[in-house]
Amino acid sequence: MKIEIIAILISCASILIASLSLGWNIYRDIMLKAKLKVKFGVALITHPTYNEPLERLIISATNFGPGKITCTMIFIKSFSLWKKITKKTELALLIHDYTDPLSENLPCELDIGDGKNFMLKFDKDCFLSESCTHIGIQDSFGRIHWASRKHVKEAQKSYLEKFNNQQKS
């Protein structure tokens, strides 16, 4: 009788250890991937070397950890409820200007707490002239970290204010 109780206790302990091990592996593989905070907007860049301020679209990425992350590509997405129902959501790769000395280049690696800024030209022919609702950066795991929709809407508003006013005048 006493040996049977010991065997049951050992079996229960092994089930507990196996459950903890499984839980840790799931947590480590799913939850402990680095998180990238992406911000997007229109900014004015002033410097004594420029005659007038430069207006640029800036995509800012900051690694919130817990490990290193490699940023590989910039994506834009056009989303609406109707497109989701018909499964026609548009996803596009955005290629930025690698010759711009103010912008970081992709791919780039970010340590915990590091950030990079990717600058895009803000002109009449930029991607904001199309209907895009999301902009984000893809990491080496294939996950896309999206900027807030609020940031995209504010940038589109700035685009419309600037370029619709130029058309009227």
Architecture of domain 34-168: Sandwich (2.60)
Instruction: Kindly tell me if the per-residue pLDDT of 157 is higher than 70.
Output: yes
Residue 122 has pLDDT above 90, yes or no: no
Q: How far is residue 156 from each of residues 45, 74, 99, 134, measured CA to CA in Å?
A: 19, 17, 25, 11
* pLDDT tens digit sequence for 7-48: 899 999 999 999 999 988 888 777 777 789 999 999 888 878
84 pLDDT exceeds 80? no
Domain ranges of the chain: 1-32, 34-168
Q: Which of 134, 139, 75 shows the shortest CA–CA distance to 107?
A: 139
Q: What pLDDT is attached to residue 123? A: 85
Residue 114 CB coordination number (10 Å): 14
Q: What type of residue is 37? A: K
Q: Is the pLDDT of residue 147 over 80?
A: yes
Q: What is the pLDDT of residues 1-13, one digit of tens each?
A: 788 888 899 999 9
Confidence check: pLDDT of 153 > 80: yes
* Pair 74, 136: CB distance under 8 Å: yes
**Environment class of 147 (CB within 10 Å of its CB; exposed 0-12, middle 13-18, buried 19+):** buried
The half-sphere exposure of 117 on its side-chain side, counting CA atoms within 13 A, is 12
